[in-house]
Structure 1
Amino acid sequence: MATTEIRSEIAGKVWKIEVPAGGHVEADEPVMILESMKMEIPVMAPVTGTVMTVLVAEGDTVAEEQVLATIA
């Protein structure tokens, strides 16, 4: 089973986790929402599958290109 990493495209703060670990997600569905410069930026699933790990928590600060979650 291949695992796909979901990475942050921007530096910001995790505002809301939409799909927790163990949850099913469709491709192009939001997994979480980041906040940067008072804008909400959805982080979309690149593939359909199950969220295996969520490596951040709501309120965490994230860097650009940081791995946020994995999908298998």
Structure 2
Amino acid sequence: MQIQAEMAGIVQEVLVQEGQAVEAGQDVVILESMKMQIPVASPAGGTVRAVRVQPGDFVNQGDVLIELDT
């Protein structure tokens, strides 16, 4: 499963790392857009397979942030 950016913005913080277990609804990335911090939550529980972004990266809507094994 891929967790994608819901809007364009700058990655402020990555809250998980590869191999970490996450629960549904857990925040995994914080984006900054229009001077607001927007948390991105995992839609399902699972294990983080890959982190595709790092702080400071600019992302567009639909870009993959995290890959998750459910």
Displacement over 6 Å in runs of 4+: none
Aligned residue-pair number: 69
The Cα RMSD (Å) is 0.6
Unaligned runs of 5+ in 1: none
Question: Which position in structure 2 is the counterpart of 1:59?
Answer: 56
Pick the aligned partner of 1:16 from 13, 17, 24. 13
Q: Report sequence identity in percent.
A: 46
TM-score normalised by length of structure 1:
0.92
CA distance in 2, matches of 1:22, 1:40: 25
Unaligned runs of 5+ in 2: none
TM-score normalised by length of structure 2:
0.95
Pick the aligned partner of 1:6 from 3, 6, 20. 3
Pick the aligned partner of 2:46 from 45, 49, 71. 49
